[in-house]
Amino acid sequence: MAEDPAPDGRRVVVAMEGVSKTYPAARPVTALVDATLEIRTGEMVAVTGPSGSGKSTLLNILGLLDTATGGRYAMDGVDVRTLGERERTRLRATRLGFVFQSFHLVPYLSCLRNVQLPLVHTRHPRAERRELAERALGAVGLRHRLTARPTTLSGGERQRVALARAVVHQPSVLLCDEPTGNLDSANTAQVMDLLRALVTPERTVVVVTHERDVAERADRELRVVDGRVVG
């Protein structure tokens, strides 16, 4: 599995080789079959496919929220199978950011405090945590809503707060599961503009989506069908 930099200098940040996932049951369910792929820094990748095809399983394994039952998955060249649970948790907390369709904001916390959550267990002093969160909210156009609670925001605003929270700790990989699934067309376009802006030479964005117009905003597409990555 090649992990050398591309001619343009982009390096492989996540790589899978022959990854599979089977859930134990009376009749075991195989959700992912022999998945092989590479994703490099500085690109946006769309993951598409029919409902139940294995897209979310693939994203959960990429995000270290689930473990593969076969194959090799490396992040920055490190085989995650060699990591203990504490190391996996640290890697997930420092290198990965997550955005979900349902926002997953804490309703009784202000926008500012929601965005600070990934920093709570870091070494950043309290004042620096606030500064970083304010900066992240400013980047998504919501610096004026620092003290607002999620229940007072529109769906588009809530997803923008979720984006700010996902990147406040400067992850190298941002994983998004149907981030526009609950949004109208205007808010979908705004969120996709923000996601495109979050792609940097050192940050990759992976978006699971069933929306064709969202997938077309990506640099390339990985299609999952019947648990297999086919493109």
Q: In this structure, is residue 54 part of a structural domain? A: yes
Q: In this structure, is residue 134 part of a structural domain? A: no
Q: In this structure, is residue 2 part of a structural domain? A: no
Residue range 195-219, pLDDT digits in tens: 999 999 999 999 999 999 999 999 9
Residue range 132-184, pLDDT digits in tens: 999 999 999 999 999 999 999 999 999 999 999 999 999 999 999 999 998 99
- Give the global pTM: 0.92
Using alpha carbons only, give the angle 183, 188, 190 rounded to the nearest 5 degrees: 125
Q: In this structure, is residue 76 part of a structural domain? A: yes
Provide the pLDDT for residue 10.
78
| Positive/negative CA dihedral, 198, 98, 14, 215 | negative
Domain that holds residue 31: 12-103+151-229
Domain CATH number, residue 75: 3.40.50.300
Sheet holding 78-79, edge to edge: 29-40, 12-23, 70-75, 78-79
**Which amino acid is present at 104?**
H
Provide the pLDDT for residue 2.
43
pLDDT grade, residue 18 (50/70/90)?
very high
Residue range 28-38, pLDDT digits in tens: 889 999 999 99
